[in-house]
Amino acid sequence: MGSVIVPIDPSSTPIFQLQGVYHCFGEFTALADVSLTIAAGERVALIGPSGAGKSTLLSLLNGSLRATAGKVAILGHALADLPPKQRRRIQRHLGTVYQQHHLVMNLAVIHNVNAGQLGRWSLGKAAVSLVWPQGVATAARALGQVGLADHLYGRTDRLSGGQQQRVALARVLVQDPLVILADEPVSSLDPARSQDIMELLCQLTLSQGKTLVVSLHDVDLALRYGTRIVGLRQGQLLFDAPPDQVTPALIQRLYALSPDA
C-alpha cells in the first residue's frame, strides 16, 4: 500500500482539538470530559494543584499517551488512528521540554542538542555524529539563541540547572517544531532563572510563530506569560480564560484543599 500523505496546515487547522476526553490509569480517572481547542500562536498556561492532570494532558497532546475515551486531534489528525510512520511525522512537529531535562549528562552539550534532530537523521548519521558531531552550525545557532554559544563542546554536567534547561530548549529548537509543550520547565529553578526561561520561551514562540502549551506551578508566571490560562482541578477543566479574567476567587477555588470547593 502506498504511503498516506498527512497534510498539515496550522493556519487553517487548530493545533489541538480535544472533545470529551477521558484518560484513566487503571481504575483511576486522571482526566474527565476535557474539551479544548488550541489555535496556532496561542500561549496556553496549564495551572492547577498537584495531581490535577496537567502532565497527563501534555502527554495526550504530544501523543505519548492515548485517550481512554473521547477525541484528540493533533494538527487535524487523530494520532491514535494513524500508522506509526505517519504518527511520527506528526510528532516531529511537537517538541516537549520536561522539568527533568532528559539530558545525557556525561555527553558534550552538542550531542544533547543534536538529539532534537534524530527524528530527521538516519541511524548511520546519528551514530557517526557521536564521534564526529554533525549539524554543528544548526546546534551552534540554537545554543546562540538560548545564550549558550560558548558551550557547544562543554560537558553537560558542568552546567548549572538553569543552563541545562536552556540546553533542553536548544534541543527543541533544532527540532524546529510547530508546538512547544513544556511540563513544569521552571520548577527546579530559582525565581530569577524561572523568569528568564519563561521570557525565552515566550520570545521564541513569538519570533517564530510557534504555539506554546506550558504547565506551571507558579500562577504569577502563568498570568504574566500566558495568553490563555487553563485551570485543571481533579482532572476537569475548572476554567479557560484570558489572564485578565482569572480572578483571585477562581485561583482560590482552583487550589482549595477541600475536595468539593
For residue 165, the minimal CB distance to ligand ATP (Å) is 17
For residue 56, the minimal CB distance to ligand ATP (Å) is 3
Q: Quick check: 96 binds ligand ATP (CB under 6 A)?
A: no
Is the distance from CB of 132 to CB of 163 less than 8 angstroms? no
Is the distance from CB of 43 to CB of 198 less than 8 angstroms? no
**Is the CB of 10 or the CB of 231 nearer to ligand ATP?**
231
- Among the listed residues 15, 52, 75, 179, the single contact to ligand ATP using CB under 6 A: 52
Quick one: cell of 140? 551552534
Q: Quick check: 50 binds ligand ATP (CB under 6 A)?
A: yes
- Among the listed residues 16, 21, 32, 56, the single contact to ligand ATP using CB under 6 A: 56
**Is the CB of 65 or the CB of 143 nearer to ligand ATP?**
65
Task: Give the range of 46-54, 104-112, 141-149, 197-205 binding ligand ATP by CB under 6 A.
Answer: 46-54
Q: Quick check: 66 binds ligand ATP (CB under 6 A)?
A: no
Beta pairing class for 228-233 and 236-241:
antiparallel
**Is the CB of 112 or the CB of 215 nearer to ligand ATP?**
215
For residue 178, the minimal CB distance to ligand ATP (Å) is 23
Q: Quick check: 54 binds ligand ATP (CB under 6 A)?
A: yes
Binding mask 23-42 for ligand ATP (x = CB under 6 A): --x--x-x------------
Q: Quick check: 257 binds ligand ATP (CB under 6 A)?
A: no
How many CB atoms neighbour CB 160 within 10 A? 10
Q: Which residues bind ligand ATP (CB under 6 A)?
A: 25, 28, 30, 48, 50-56
